[in-house]
Amino acid sequence: MKKATKVMALAAAMVMLAGTLTACGGSGKGGKITFGTNAEFPPFEFVASQGVIDQYDGIDMAIAKNIAEQNGMTAAIENMEFDSLLVALQNGQIDAVIAGMTATDERRETVDFSTTYYTATQVMIVKEDSDIATAADMADKKICVIQGYTGEICVQDMGYPYEAFKKGTEAVMELVNGKCDVVVIDSATAQKYVSDNEGLKIVEDASAFESEEYAIAVQKGNTELLEKINKSIEGMLADGTINELAVKYTEAVSEE
């Protein structure tokens, strides 16, 4: 680092430190929980002109804010690719992941998950006139998934070829433009895309797609944070907060 840059970095660090000290007066060391997310997953997380945490809005963002506040802290969001979230968590770049993330056994090998707060399933989005009625009907179709999502793993396990996209919106555009026949993605998010785009419908196949439990991930062994998160989630499940948020954001996104 050049000297001038160093001085500036130091000054910036001091300003940030001063900010932290005044902003969390009394709440003690580490008054902030930095949540990583991928804000491409409505109604759980998306970018809005004004969100609950900065420009980030959605069910998960409201949950994250409540968790922080109930523990006398503030919530910050780091928005990144879905695929990078668990690595960023392991590196300590973020404290927790809240991203409509399914608690899978594979992911449990590297991180710890909170109490689950939402149950979803994979569904198929197809054109209204599609003849796809079951997952097996995808066999000779062009399938689109989103990279690193559980939908990709499901299609992989079924042994079908597919194309993976970075964002749900990109995969749905392929479908709208007739370049693919089916998008496999989580149910609530699929609902949002179907209400946003003409001529699409959802096909479910409960025998092919298992239910998935969304949970918040923390670094393995971070029981201190995990206990705080679990306590908040349990409270929000018991008093209906999470249910209300799900209704609110599902209605809001389908009315747009």
Give the x/- contact pattern for ligand GLN in 179-218, rule: CB under 6 A: -------x-------------------------x------
Walk across the sheet containing 74-79 and list its strands. Answer: 74-79, 32-37, 96-97, 217-219, 111-113
User: What is the phi/psi pair of residue 124, to 5°?
Assistant: -110, 130
CB of 10 to ligand GLN, least distance (A): 37
Q: Minimum distance between the CB of residue 218 and ligand GLN, rounded to whole angstroms?
A: 16
- Exposed, middle or buried, 105 (CB in 10 Å: 0-12/13-18/19+)? exposed
Judged by CB under 6 A, the stretch of 50-58, 100-108, 221-229, 243-251 that binds ligand GLN is 100-108
CB of 4 vs ligand GLN, minimal distance in Å: 41
Q: How far apart are the two ends of the chain, measured CA to CA in Å?
A: 48
Pairing of strands 143-146, 182-186: parallel
Which of 4-12, 23-31, 95-103, 246-254 is the region at the interface with ligand GLN (rule: CB under 6 A)? 95-103
| DSSP-assigned states of every residue in 14-29 | HHHHHHHHHHTTTT-S
Tokens of residue 118, six digits:
């939402």
Query: Measured at CB, which residue is nearest to ligand GLN?
Result: 102
* 101 lies in the site for ligand GLN, by CB under 6 A: yes
Q: Tell me, by CB under 6 A, how many residues bind ligand GLN.
A: 11
Nearer to ligand GLN, 58 or 73 (CB): 58
Strand-pair category, 182-186 with 56-57: unpaired
Q: Does 57 bind ligand GLN (CB under 6 A)?
A: no
CA dist 204 and 118 (Å) reads 18
Residues that bind ligand GLN (CB under 6 A): 38, 41, 82, 99-102, 149-150, 186, 212
